[in-house]
Structure 1
Amino acid sequence: MSSIELKNLVKKYGDGFPAVNDISLDIADGEFMILVGPSGCGKSTLLRMVVGLEDITSGELDINGKRVNDLAPRDRNLAMVFQNYALYPHLTVFENIAFPLRLAKGKHSDNEIKQKVNDAADMLELREHLERKPANLSGGQRQRVAMGRAIVREADAFLFDEPLSNLDAKLRGQMRTEIARMQRRLGVTTLYVTHDQTEAMTLGDRVAVLKKGVLQQCASPRELYEQPVNLFVAGFIGSPPMNFLPARVEGNTLKLPIADVELSGELAEKVKGKNAVIVGLRPEHIKDASLGDNISHGVPFKAVVDVTEWLGNEQYAYIPFDSDPSLQGTLEELDRDLDGEGMRTQMVVNLDSRSRVREGQEADLVFDPSFMHVFDPESGDCLTRDDDRAAEIARDNEEQRKAALERARTRESNAAAQSAEPRQAS
C-alpha cells in the first residue's frame, strides 16, 4: 500500500494549453480517491501522469514520499485497469491474469503463480472461467479479468480509467459493488476516474471535482453535496441536478420567480449591495404541501406543473419559471461547463410517490429556506457554505474511512488464519 501526493502538477501540450493546471492532492494510504468532471476536464490526463503514461510538465509526484516524476511506468509499481480492459485475446483468462507475474521472469515459481491467480479468481468469481478466452466472456467478466491482473501484481496502488463505461446500467451497479468490496478487502490505495457521478458518490472516500484542468473541490461525497464551494460543483453533483433560480435582492428579501424569501443574519449581510444572486434548491428539498408534511418556517408557493414522471418510489415534476436576463448569461455558461444541452428555465421537483400532482395542475409546494444555497453570480462562490460544518463532515468521513479499512483488514486476517488451519492440520 502507499500514499500518493500530487504537488502543483501541470500538463501542457505543444500549443501551451494546460490540460492539467496546478493540481495538488494528497491521497492517503488505503484511500479510494475519485477524479470526476465533464468531458475534457483533464481527469484521464491526470491519471496517466500518475501512472507514467504522460510526462509531467511541472510539479512533483511523490509515491510513499519518493519523487517518481522521472520513473518509467513499470518502476512505479502501480496497476492500471483501462476502459477497454486491454486483455490479450489469444491468452486464456488464467494467462491474462498471470501475465504480469510471468513478466517478472524468475521472481515467481509456477506454484506461486497458480496460487495467486486462483486466489484472485476466487475473489472475483472467475474460477470456472480460467480456461476460456476473453472473446467468450461477457463485458462484466472481462472487467473482472482486468481487475484480477491488477490484484496479482500486489501493486502499491490501483488506477482505474472509467472501467465501467462500456457496461450496461445493471452490470455497472454490480461492478461498483465488487470494486468497492475488493478495495476495502485489499486496503489498496485507489485512484479512479469517471464521468459518472453515481460511481463517484457511491465509491469514493473523497471526490476531486475538476473543471477545465483546474481542481474545484476535493471532499467527501457528503460535503460536496451539502457544502459545495461554488456553482460548478453544486451543479455537477446531484441527480437530478440542483435547480438554479435567479433572485433579485431587495433589502433583506430575495425575490425568486416562485416566491419571496426573507433573509436575516450573516446571509443578509453577504448579499447586501448585490442586485441579484443565484439560488440553488435541490429537487428533494421541495415538497408537496398537500401531503401534510410539516416544514418549520417553510416557504409555500403555488406553481403549474408542466410534466410529471412517476417512477414508483418517487415522482418528478417539472415546473417552468421566468428567467432573469441579467443572470441568464451566467447560467448558460454554467450549463456549457456541465456538458448541458442548453439551460432550460424549468425547475425539477422530486416529489413523494404518494403525491397526486399531475401535469397541467396547480400544485401547492413548500421548501425549507435553510436548505437553500446562494451563489454570487460573478465569482460563482457559494455564500451559504458553512466551513465549520464542512470541517465536521470531513472529520467524520475520515473516521469512518479508517474504521471501514480496519474492519476489512480484520476480516481478511481472520479469513487467512482460518484457511491456514486446515493446511496445518494436514
Structure 2
Amino acid sequence: MASITLDHLVKKYDDGFPAVNDVSIDIADGEFIILVGPSGCGKSTLLRMIVGLEDITSGNLLINGRRVNEAAPRDRNLAMVFQNYALYPHLTVFENIAFPLRLAKGKLTEAEIRERVTTAAATLELSEHLDRKPANLSGGQRQRVAMGRAIVRQADAFLFDEPLSNLDAKLRGQMRSEISQMQRRLGVTSVYVTHDQTEAMTLGDRVAVLKKGVLQQIASPRELYEQPVNLFVAGFIGSPSMNFLPATLEGNVFRTPVGDIPVVSERAEVARGRGVVLLGVRPEFFEDAALYEPAKLPHGTVFEADLTHTEWLGSEQYGYINFEPTPQVRELLQSLARDMDAEELRPQIVATLDADSKLRGGQRARLWLDTRRVHIFDPGTGENLTRDAEAGAALTAEAAAVRAEQIARAAEGVPTA
C-alpha cells in the first residue's frame, strides 16, 4: 500500500492553458479519495498525472515519499480501472484478469498466477464466470473483471476513472457498494474520479472539489455539505442544489424577494455593512409550517410564498418558488451555472416537503425555514461568511476515525455497515 503526495502539481498544455493549477493533496495510506467537479475541471487529467499517462509541468508527485515525476507508469506500481473496462474480447475472464501477471514474464509460476486470479475472482463473485468471454457478461460483471485485473497486480494504489458511468442507475448503486466494501477489505489506497454526486458523497473518506484546474476544498463529504468554503462548492455539492437567495440586511432581518427572514444576531453580524449578500439555503431547511409543532417554530421563521408547482416522490416532495432577481444577481447565477457546467441556475427556490404535505402548485404556502442553518455568501468573492472551519474539521476527523475502524474490522473479517 502507499501514501501519495501531490505537491503543487501543475499541468500546462502547449497553448499555456493550466488544466491542473497548483494542486496539493496528501493522500494517506489506505485512504479513499474522490476527485469531483464539472466537465473540464481537471480531475481526469490529475488522475492521469498520478498514474504517469500525463507529464507534470511543475510540482512534485511522491509515492511513499519517493519522487516519481519522471518514472514510467509501469514503475509506479499503480493499477488503473478505466471507464470502458479495457478488456480483451478474445480472452476469457480468467485470462483477462491474469493478463498483467503474464506480462511480468518469469516472475510468477502458473500456480501462483492461478491462485491470485481465483482469489480475486472469489472476492468479486466471478468464480463461476472465469471461462466466459467479456461479450457474454453484463456491464457490472465486466466492471468487476477490470477491478480483478487491478487486484491481482497487488498494486500500491487503485486509480478509478469514472468506472460506473456506463452502467444503468440500479447497477451503479450495486457497484458502488461493491467497490466500497472491496476497498475496506483490501485497505488499499484509492483515488476515484467521478462527476456523480451520489458516488462522491457515498464512497470517499475525503472529496476533493475542483474548478477549472484549481482545488476549491478537500474534506469529508459531510464537511463539504455542511461547511462549504465558497459558493461553487455549496452549489456543486448536493442534489437538489443549494438555493441562493439575494438579500439585504436591516437590523437582524434579511429582506429577500420571497419575504423577510429574521436570523440570530451572530449570523446577521457577518453581513452587516455589505449591501447585497446571497443566502445559501438547502432544500431540506424548509418544511410545510402546517406540519410543524409550535415548539419547534422558535428555531426558525415562517413565511408565505406562491408555489409554482410540486413534485411528489413518494418519500418526500419538492415545492418550487420563483423569484425575480436583479440584473446583477441574475448574472451571478448564470456565471455560477457556467462554472458548474450547468445550463442555468434558475431564480427559484426548491423546498423539500414532507410527503404528507397537502401543499400543491398554484397555492399560497406557509413554509417554515430553519434559520440556524442558513449560509451567507459574499457575492463578489464567493466566500462563505458563516463557515465554521473548526466544526468542519471536526466532521472530517470524525469521518476519518469511523473509516479507520471500519477498515480494521474488515481486515479481521467482521462485516461493516
2:249–2:268 contact (8 Å) kept in structure 1? no
Matching residue's letter, 1:194 = T
Matching residue's letter, 1:188 = V
- Within a 5 Å distance, the mapping from 1:106-145 to structure 2 comes to 106-145=106-145
2:263–2:372 contact (8 Å) kept in structure 1? no
Partner of 1:336: 338
Structure 2 CA distance for aligned equivalents of residues 353 and 263 of structure 1 = 27
Match of 1:317 among 316, 319, 325: 319
Matched, 1:367 2:369: yes
Q: Tell me, what secondary structure is at the counterpart of 1:411?
A: coil
Structure 1 CA distance for aligned equivalents of residues 88 and 24 of structure 2 = 35
Partner of 1:224: 224
Per the alignment, do residues 263 and 362 of structure 1 end up closer, same or farther by CA in structure 2, a change over 3 Å counting?
A: closer
User: How far 1:87 moved relative to its partner?
Assistant: 0.5
Per the alignment, do residues 332 and 216 of structure 1 end up closer, same or farther by CA in structure 2, a change over 3 Å counting?
A: same
User: How far 1:324 moved relative to its partner?
Assistant: 2.4
1:3–1:29 contact (8 Å) kept in structure 2? yes
Unaligned runs of 5+ in 2: none
User: How far 1:401 moved relative to its partner?
Assistant: 1.7
Q: Tell me, what secondary structure is at the counterpart of 1:296?
A: helix
Report Cα offsets for 1:302-345 as digits up to 9, x if no partner.
11111111111111111111212232221110011112222211
Mean CA deviation greater in 205-214 or 327-336 = 327-336
User: How far 1:268 moved relative to its partner?
Assistant: 3.0
Partner of 2:281: 281
TM-score (norm 1): 0.95
Matching residue's letter, 1:307 = H
Structure 2 CA distance for aligned equivalents of residues 297 and 128 of structure 1 = 57
Partner of 2:409: 407
Q: Tell me, what secondary structure is at the counterpart of 2:39?
A: coil
Structure 2 CA distance for aligned equivalents of residues 43 and 319 of structure 1 = 34
Mean CA deviation greater in 393-402 or 168-177 = 393-402
User: How far 1:264 moved relative to its partner?
Assistant: 4.7
Structure 2 CA distance for aligned equivalents of residues 219 and 264 of structure 1 = 27
Structure 1 CA distance for aligned equivalents of residues 132 and 407 of structure 2 = 34
User: How far 1:2 moved relative to its partner?
Assistant: 0.6
Mean CA deviation greater in 271-280 or 223-232 = 271-280
Count of aligned residue pairs for this structure pair: 413
Partner of 2:272: 272
Structure 1 CA distance for aligned equivalents of residues 188 and 323 of structure 2 = 48
2:4–2:61 contact (8 Å) kept in structure 1? yes
Q: Tell me, what secondary structure is at the counterpart of 1:207?
A: strand
Partner of 1:295: 297
Mean CA deviation greater in 257-266 or 228-237 = 257-266
Partner of 2:51: 51
Partner of 2:381: 379
Matching residue's letter, 2:151 = I
2:263–2:371 contact (8 Å) kept in structure 1? no
- Within a 5 Å distance, the mapping from 1:6-405 to structure 2 comes to 6-293=6-293, 294-405=296-407
Structure 1 CA distance for aligned equivalents of residues 350 and 304 of structure 2 = 14
Structure 2 CA distance for aligned equivalents of residues 408 and 160 of structure 1 = 21
2:159–2:192 contact (8 Å) kept in structure 1? yes
Matching residue's letter, 2:250 = E
Unaligned runs of 5+ in 1: 414-426
1:330–1:377 contact (8 Å) kept in structure 2? yes
Q: Tell me, what secondary structure is at the counterpart of 2:387?
A: coil
User: How far 1:63 moved relative to its partner?
Assistant: 0.3
CA RMSD across the alignment: 1.3
2:260–2:303 contact (8 Å) kept in structure 1? no
Structure 2 CA distance for aligned equivalents of residues 265 and 352 of structure 1 = 29
Q: Percent identity?
A: 67
Mean CA deviation greater in 327-336 or 223-232 = 327-336
Q: Tell me, what secondary structure is at the counterpart of 1:7?
A: strand
Q: Tell me, what secondary structure is at the counterpart of 1:295?
A: helix
Per the alignment, do residues 379 and 274 of structure 1 end up closer, same or farther by CA in structure 2, a change over 3 Å counting?
A: same
Partner of 1:423: none
Report Cα offsets for 1:88-108 as digits up to 9, x if no partner.
111110000000111111111
2:264–2:372 contact (8 Å) kept in structure 1? no
Matching residue's letter, 1:399 = A
Structure 1 CA distance for aligned equivalents of residues 215 and 311 of structure 2 = 35
Per the alignment, do residues 250 and 338 of structure 1 end up closer, same or farther by CA in structure 2, a change over 3 Å counting?
A: same
Matching residue's letter, 1:363 = A
User: How far 1:269 moved relative to its partner?
Assistant: 3.1
Per the alignment, do residues 113 and 63 of structure 1 end up closer, same or farther by CA in structure 2, a change over 3 Å counting?
A: same
Structure 1 CA distance for aligned equivalents of residues 16 and 265 of structure 2 = 47
Q: Tell me, what secondary structure is at the counterpart of 2:158?
A: strand
Structure 1 CA distance for aligned equivalents of residues 48 and 186 of structure 2 = 23
User: How far 1:362 moved relative to its partner?
Assistant: 1.4
Structure 1 CA distance for aligned equivalents of residues 282 and 297 of structure 2 = 15
1:259–1:299 contact (8 Å) kept in structure 2? no
TM-score (norm 2): 0.97
Q: Tell me, what secondary structure is at the counterpart of 1:385?
A: coil
Partner of 1:422: none
1:79–1:158 contact (8 Å) kept in structure 2? yes
Mean CA deviation greater in 273-282 or 30-39 = 273-282
1:160–1:192 contact (8 Å) kept in structure 2? yes
1:185–1:412 contact (8 Å) kept in structure 2? no
